[in-house]
Amino acid sequence: MSYLIRGGLVVDGSGAAGVVADVRTDGEKIAEIGQNLAAQGEREIDAKGLIVSPGLIDLHAHVFDGMGYWAIDAITCGLSKGVTTLLDTGTAGSLTYRTFEKYVMPAAREEIYALINISMVGCLQGHKDAPPLMGELVEPRHINASAAIDCIQQHPQHLIGVKARLSASLADHKKEHEDKAFKEALEAAEKTGTPLMIHHAVSNIPTQELLEKLRPGDIYTHLFHPHADHAFDENGKPLKVLLEAQARGVICDVGHGAGAFGWETAERACRDYDFWPNTISTDIHSFNVNGPVWDMATTLSKFLYLGMPLEKVLCAATQNPAKAMGLADRIGALKAGMQADITLLKLEEGRFELEDVKGEKRTASQRLVATGTFKNGQKYF
């Protein structure tokens, strides 16, 4: 099936301002973008009043459904919410990853990739409201670079990097466990030539020490968490070490989650110091899908509220995560020859409550809502 999507505001993912244009698809590819394109027998879609974006990419999700309490089915947060590609970040460890790739990924309509947890058991639970707390770094014998390296080398198609969750509560409050996880995660990423994503909040590893060791292409997620060891000073100014990390190519990612996005942290950094994330992701899982995250569009709406321009917001949810995943030659942009992953969004006007992880609310005058999704040229809703 081919489509002609007519008259929408085409925001191509590059960060450039949108233009009203038509988008033609031909099978699985984008064939042409231009104004007043002549119909060639395609099915026509009226997109007047809508934003036509590359398919949204969530760089931080948990969709290894059926493994513990943590993850959710991709259908809950994927195509129905405008998200065409998901990166599962460490739900699976080397002992569980094969099940993820063999049974869960093929069943999904979304494109799913993964980061391997440096703990062999992966992220089974690890949430304060679901005892017992099963932090994956409690047992240091499970922290194993060699196992992660072998797993990545055996499954290169979907397994594209490494994840470590560095929080004291996940490591039995023992710094040596966190230190081992960080050291071995870096080793695994270096030896496989892949990026490392680091969750760092309420950790025994100092923020300065952590950020100094991250390499270009590594991902520092939970950027705006509200805890004392975030990367901003008492006035909300980005620490020098954070600015230096971003300047050398460390990717600063939102990773909203259930405990990692605070209005006060984000407002000071973004509004007072013009410091913006490279990528906007949800960290969606079973403990936040019914609030405060809800979905990708709601998370993006929070950055519109903060003053991030629409085209930059969408770049942070399309082209930039595609680059971070090494997939920018195929997805993350609207241009001829790219995979026909397309999201239709409506920018609604009104009064909308947006909540952070502490229960603090802000009232926004705009919000984004996904109204249609194409994956590989096929329309899903």
Residue 190, classed as helix, strand or coil, is: helix
What is the pLDDT tens value at each position of the chain, 381 positions in all? 899 999 999 999 999 999 999 999 999 999 999 999 999 999 999 999 999 999 999 999 999 998 888 899 999 999 999 999 999 999 999 999 999 999 999 999 999 999 999 999 999 765 667 666 779 999 999 999 999 999 999 999 999 999 999 999 999 999 999 999 999 999 999 999 999 999 999 999 999 999 999 999 999 999 999 999 999 999 999 999 999 999 999 999 999 999 999 999 999 999 999 999 999 999 999 999 999 999 999 999 999 999 999 999 999 999 999 999 999 999 999 999 999 999 999 999 999 999 999 999 999 999 999 999 999 999 998
Domains, the chain, with CATH or none: 55-324 (3.20.20.140)
| 8 Å CB contact between 33 and 16 | no
Tell me how crowded residue 236 is: count the other CB atoms within 10 A of its CB: 18
Residue showing tokens 């466990």? 177
| Global confidence as pTM | 0.97
d(CA 318, CA 286): 24
Nearby residues of 155 by Cβ (< 8 Å), 6 or more positions away: 97, 98, 101
d(CA 146, CA 233): 37
